Amino acid sequence: MDIEGKLEELVLRHLPDDRYFLTEISAKQAGGNTKIAIFLDGDEGIAIDVCARISREVSKDLEVLDIIKHSYTLMVSSPGLDRPLKLARQYHRNLGKKLRIRLKNQEVLEGRLKEVKEECIVVDKLTAKQGKNNEEKIPFTEIEATHILVSF
């Protein structure tokens, strides 16, 4: 099993309950140091104290199990607005929000998330020509990246 797989096992062991979930793990080598980034989320968001507790627990496990033989940096965080949505669970929490969706064919769509289905999302997209909302179903398999657009 690779290091990311081992880290996933450790993280999942320490999640407080099924409201919380792992969205992404990366372990990148930089010189003699490994930078580990763990992104967690929750159905209603995730508090910093939950991330801090999981960081402490995973760090203890890494030391005790001696999984990484050299120096490393560990970061445990919520995905934040700069990170794309990865899982259907994240879309559910963002119903009604405006999204920018880049499809695998590189087309970019913007619209308000109306519905999340098993295989796709439904977005009301604004068309410049018609000036009205048009509903579009977008299969998850066609999505390369989705970001939440923040309005001020």
Q: Which two tokens stand for residue 113?
A: 């998330």
pTM of the model: 0.83
Consecutive H or E run containing 13: helix 3-14
For the residues 78-89, what does the mean pLDDT come to? 91
How much is the pLDDT for 134? 87
Instruction: Note whether 33 and 70 are within 8 A (CB).
Output: yes
Tokens coding 142: 């066609």
- Set out the domains of the chain in order of their start, with CATH numbers: 3-77 (3.30.300.70), 88-148 (2.30.30.100)
Residue pLDDT, tens place only, 122-139 = 999 866 565 566 899 999
